[in-house]
Chains A and B, each alone.
Chain A
Amino acid sequence: MSELSVKTMADYMASGETPEILFWVGCSGSFDDRAKKITKAIVKILNHANVKFAVLGTEESCTGDPAKRAGNEFLFQMQAMTNIAVMNGYEVKKIVTGCPHCFNTIKNEYPSLGGNYEVVHHTQLLQDLLNTGRIKIEGGSFKGKKITFHDPCYLGRGNDVYEAPRSVMLNLDAELAEMKRSRQNGLCCGAGGAQMFKEAEKGNKEVNIERTEEALALNPDVIAVGCPFCNTMMTDGVKHFNKEQSVKVLDVAELIAQANDL
């Protein structure tokens, strides 16, 4: 495995260069062991496609999304303004995020606080890299496998992005199966709205179990996701049904990286 090449904004600044794009890694992508693998997959693809990208490294801080959805607007705006000050300082123009929550927050909620950037989710960047031929996928290890995609709420309903992840996966020569509740009607994994950070309220079932059940009913080889939180929830769901040997939960970026043996 080749070394990851990751430069920070500060590195670029020091060498007088400007990157094409800022990769906003996010808290999960930085700290969660499972999500770090997604981060690395994204970096491998960016390296492979020779995209000049930067990260903020230790200058990155939570977008404030979980605070905002939990009702703590103060904390959210403090986080937002801190991040905006850092990014405006580096004259950031374009951002790719590894998480739909970061994507939504920076794209939609930062502008009125002074942060105006072009923001894409990593599946949209992948689509772009494929369309422009900067990456190619030749069949690869997912050929003929059955994959079902779980729409993240903040990518799908929240921002009307349904096709980017699907069109990326079309390149895998796999069988894409849709759950009954998909796209606009997709069912949440249960993590949004700050639920990730608390016990669920009293009920008769966990949301991720309900959702995983629906996915498993299709007998997929892979449940594809585009969000580190969904990843956690679906992975837990698959474990709950003791299916982790036969069903993998993988981010779209990981699928692309693995198909290319990166």
Chain B
Amino acid sequence: MTVWIMISIIIFILLFAGGSAFFFYNVSKIRRNILLGKDIDRTDKPAERIKTMILVAFGQKKMFNRPIPAILHLFLYVAFVITQVELIEIVLDGALGNHRMFRPSLGGFYTFMVSFIEILSVLAFIGTLAFLARRNLLKVPRLVKSELNGWPKLDANFILLGEITLICFIFMMNGADEVLYSRGMSHAQNMGDGSLGLTISSHLGPVLFGGMSEHSLHIIERIGWWGHICMVLGFLNYLPYSKHFHILLAFPNVYYSNLEKKGKFTNLGSVTNEVKAMMDPSFTPPAADPNGPMRFGAKEVTDLSWKQLLDSYTCTECGRCTSACPANITGKVLSPRLIMMKTRDRLEEVGKNMDANKGEFKEDGKSLLHDYITPEELWACTSCNACVQECPVNIDPLSIIMDLRRFLVMEQSAAPAELNMMFNNMENNGAPWQFSPSDRLNWKNE
């Protein structure tokens, strides 16, 4: 083993270990943030949950309500999933100082797999270009809304440009190696077949690099190889800062979906106890919560459930929810996507605050309600469930809206005046309007 190979093994292992460690460090922070949420049970009906996950997350079922982006996205998605297989070889090659170590033992299957990945990479390349065009040239409305200005827009373009770079590295690596192999100069074990047989690179390689010297070809091949693994590690560590985190969280998020009918809202148990005590003097409410008095509804991210917080980290910012939202369509300030983005932003802020204060949250005088999400947004919602229906990863923006409304009404008595009137009518007359309960059956004789 030459000294250069030794050095490259060491660099690789350091890079890989460092990249993975930093990723897991960031993931553990996100996990902690999510677990700041209130407990809810989403472990029932495992069979139905797995089925939902296979259909919606793995099978991308809801994506296909819009076929064009669904197919483009499928290219990227399948390429992403299948390329992980190749990554196993790359990591082992890097750690052991080998070159295409699976080829001799896998033979034809190896050629098939790598060729398959090449074809998927070309499709992903096309998909990525189309996505860049949809965002930057065609300006699909939901992708260029002003709520995405700044980081979200950059983030989306970064990911797509990164994807393109990654694919270029793959073809540099494979293309140069094909030319080297045909000259009998590749580091891959020569099996006397004159070509690696890669569907795309065996043609693309000679066109791009055919006239180059052996030395240049080896350099290009290595740039491709190192570029590839660096991009992968870079991507991995970019995920926790990006909406792109959905590629990992989509699966657990769909698994823990709400399986109830969408029209069914939760009944607050804390309220049930109070109402029972009010209506039935003999009722003894269960012992008070040792964690102090509960809030009715949610004011802060920590008043939401862990699932709602998981939702916020899973959001892809695709805007399907917002483009179907009747309030948003008619020019109201409400955007369900923005509800999710603001929840995540506030949660990140709370997490950073905790990091800076030895794991304890230090009061910063802000809250999700009012400082991030305004009552005007909340009161524009018709609770129509279109956003929930649309979301390809089963996020529920409506549940957050409702929990914040509950806080506004029950803790701050801050309902719009007309709604207070409606409440009064209901309390006094048993109907939201001012009619006498004794007139309820009058229609019969009219």
Interface residues of A (CB under 8 A from B): 4, 6, 8, 25, 27, 29-31, 36, 39-40, 55, 57-58, 60-62, 64, 66-75, 77-79, 81-82, 104, 108-109, 112-113, 153-154, 157-160, 184-188, 190-207, 209-211
Contacts and interface: CB of A to CB of B under 8 A. Distances in A.
B326 A158 contact: no
Contacts of A78: 275, 278-279, 427
Given A30-B431, A153-B386, 8 more contacts: A4-B444, A70-B422, A71-B408, A108-B263, A159-B263, A201-B327, A201-B380, A210-B326
User: Which of B260, B268, B386 gathers most chain A CB within 10 Å?
Assistant: B386
Among B326, B331, B389, residue most surrounded by chain A Cβ atoms (within 10 Å): B326
B426 A58 contact: no
Nearest to A108: B264
Given A31-B433, A79-B426, A40 B419 contact: no
Given A71-B406, A201-B332, A58 B437 contact: yes
Interface in B417-446: 418-419, 421-423, 426-427, 430-433, 435, 437-444, 446
A207 B386 CA distance: 13
Contacts of A67: 422-423, 426
B379 interface: yes
Nearest to B441: A57
A207 B326 CA distance: 6
A62 B426 contact: yes
Contact of A194 (B260, B334, B419, B442): B419
A71 B274 contact: no
Contact of A185 (B333, B389, B407): B389
What are the nearest 9 A-B pairs in CB distance?
A: A158-B263, A193-B383, A204-B331, A71-B405, A61-B430, A108-B264, A188-B384, A203-B331, A71-B409
A37 to B, nearest CB: 9
Interface size bracket, B side: 35 or more
Contacts of A104: 261, 263-264
B370 to A, nearest CB: 15
A195 B405 CA distance: 13
16 contacts: A4-B444, A27-B433, A71-B405, A71-B407, A71-B415, A72-B410, A75-B427, A112-B267, A113-B267, A153-B386, A160-B261, A188-B326, A192-B383, A193-B384, A194-B419, A199-B418
Contact of A200 (B272, B332, B431, B433): B332
B385 interface: yes
Contacts of B268: 73, 77
A210 B297 contact: no
B279 A81 contact: yes
Contacts of A158: 261-264, 385
Contacts of B272: 77, 113
A14 to B, nearest CB: 16
B386 A109 contact: no
A81 B332 contact: no
Interface string B308-347: 0000000000000000101101111110000000000000
B294 interface: no
Given A81-B276, A207-B326, A210-B326, A153 B384 contact: yes
Nearest to B378: A71
Given A30-B431, A187-B326, A77 B275 contact: yes
Given A6-B444, A201-B380, A75 B426 contact: yes
A31 B405 contact: no
Interface centre among B382, B388, B441 (most CB of A within 10 A): B382
Nearest to B270: A73
B371 interface: no
B404 to A, nearest CB: 8
B159 to A, nearest CB: 28
B202 to A, nearest CB: 46
Among A81, A108, A187, A188, the one with the most B-chain Cβ atoms within 10 Å of its Cβ is A188
B4 interface: no
A211 B329 CA distance: 11
